[in-house]
Chains A and B, each alone.
Chain A
């Protein structure tokens, strides 16, 4: 698939218009007004600056200040675009709150931001207009990305189920023994 700078996608070294649009869209989304729950009331609030999406320099500073684990730096270095799109967010675990979360914060739960999806759809429409051969390949890349995004929480959930299966088995065995011995709690 030929990309924006007349070379294959994997050979491109500079960020493309699509990438820039996606990053701009997700940054804007994080700052949008959203409903949050405070004292059992639903109120609307918006962030004044990006918290979940940080530049590599900001992440480096947070790591040095020990607000983020050192492994975060490696993640940001290995997957720079995912980090810029908030797929790997930069919120310290102790500061993470579901009550005040934005769509970027809850990405690991499988929430795919609509703005990023719209940016990709727009690019797909442009591809269709100029070159019909590339749009099917791009569609496949989109599907793969969303599938990977949705399979991430499912995989973690399944692995944890496997890990706690032994404990469940022990409890069920105890229940069977109690029933057999006529023990009632």
Chain B
């Protein structure tokens, strides 16, 4: 698909007539370029680019839980068909490692936009705490 037809990656081209910041002003390999051109690597993208990460995410999730039921009923290693199980796929493997800490949020599947701004109040709270510490 041509880049300008992609909903997210095509945003910069679609906004070109209205944007006062040109492509050469945001430089190569800069954070701003990643944000404006939406080329920030999201968690899900990392998983697909580097498959062993799925097993690490699974092990990490298991280590965080001490419940006997979870430890007894779930395998040590990740099942090869993990994509077919919605809960394992969306709430464990594709879950943003940052959001996984907050158990109140049912939707944990990481999306690109979560790294820019999000409705997740807990992230704002943690952001506020971190900024004040910095």
The residue from A34, A93, A162, A168 contacting B119, defined by CB atoms under 8 A apart = A93
Structural contact, B21 and A112, CB atoms closer than 8 A: yes
Distance in angstroms between the alpha carbons of A36 and B40 in the assembled complex: 21
Structural contact, B32 and A153, CB atoms closer than 8 A: yes
Structural contact, B21 and A154, CB atoms closer than 8 A: no
By size class, the interface of chain A is 35 or more
Distance in angstroms between the alpha carbons of A59 and B11 in the assembled complex: 27
Q: Residue-by-residue, is B40-53 near A (CB-CB < 8 Å gives 1, otherwise 0)?
A: 10000000000111
Interface of A is mostly: helix
Structural contact, A157 and B7, CB atoms closer than 8 A: no
B residues in contact (CB < 8 Å) with A? 1, 4-8, 10-11, 14-15, 17-21, 31-32, 34-36, 38, 40, 51-53, 55-57, 59-60, 77, 97-98, 113, 115-119, 123, 126-127, 130-131, 134
A residues in contact (CB < 8 Å) with B? 29, 32, 34-37, 40-42, 93-94, 98-99, 101-103, 106, 108-118, 150, 153-154, 156-160, 162-164, 167-168, 170-171, 174-175, 178, 185
